[in-house]
Structure 1
């Protein structure tokens, strides 16, 4: 039984299954809240109160300057080009990331070490050498993960706004030695698009199951998030090494395509900065 099957089995046995809820809102952290006020609220969050626990996790995760990110995809998620990521991500003093990815090129999974620096993604897809992929969103926008308004903190707030139907349950994260509490809720795909990739307009309001594993001790940061965007598919994000320093610099050698593209790329295919000439 693989890791994701063990997680799902644990959730079912513990009763952590969210029912379909009628609606969601997009509440955000109050503007101007001090870090000390946020920390006080985080430490006071009750582990038997799902909304308070999710709000505390959203605030603590939003305050992170850096983290180690692992992303794993099982099944088919149509809008997602990355199937695995293992990377260090930093948002201060400016967005940066480095690590290894597995991406889809056509129907093939290809290894792609990458660096995100100074607003650009440099990736070595399939050993072809580092290329400039512009803002990198055509492959995977790894820097959005810690973003307060679009990343994991926002997803946690969306879960809190959904008034989770099931109480928190002490279901452990099977890959971490951190004590965690699990909370499940339904979240619209539109709010999940930054980490799931392109979502068709007709699917954006569809609510899908999301489970968050939150550190039981203060600060109650997010340890794991698992999304089930479709039957048989799962996207799991693990966070660790909270606020450990991350140093990123652009690769010393970056190649450009030998021929200037004459037309726009096919939808969903990686884009590259056009060659001069």
Structure 2
């Protein structure tokens, strides 16, 4: 087997995690990197064929922005399938990378890499007690889970402040945080906002239901007491391209995807990714990259 530095190799399934709609389906959909956020493509690259390269290019840029190369300890909030954790240690010389996840399936998957320099923990940001201060942190499309859907404005503000206060306490002074966040735009005056489609994205029937999708101002205000925002970059196009790449991969291997996950799951992914792609392309939703430094 040929391996790519920083691209984890799964060493088999446990009895509790059989092949199916877990890692096998997500690898089919997302590619070997199994990263579910926007990628960085170069001009002329085929979206589906160079998906893994685009995702690794994005992760490497995030590491650069965070100043995490050679760091002693790094935190990944919402580590997913662990690609960033593995790449931090294998490619970028990080001594130890800790990832938080809500999923025991993902925790077992990351443990299956056999990399002693990474660890995944089934913990929330509220429950996490670090063993020592972190030198950098990442949150790739995880902030959407911090506030429950339907929360009132005051509740949202308090929740974001608590999140950034807690994260700031876990980082050494000056340490950098890189976020990738799906954000809501102000509704358009022409009244064409696709309410039903956006409601599906937030519903239990969606393959990726979120909590509250924040406005950018809510995030910046919440961070203000603990972090200095250094850069905000609009990356709606990169996320839209990733959605189109995932849809292409799913279309090419749809029969296999149905065997792995079932017709209902595949149909919901097709609908959800299609909505997300056009919502980003039409600027109904946005995706931003934020780099901040702990005060």
TM-score normalised per structure 2: 0.23
What TM-score do the two structures reach when normalised by structure 1?
Answer: 0.24
Q: Which has the higher helix share?
A: 2
Comparing both structures, which one devotes a greater share of its residues to strand?
1
| Highest RCO, 1 vs 2 (Cα 8 Å, sep ≥ 6) | 1
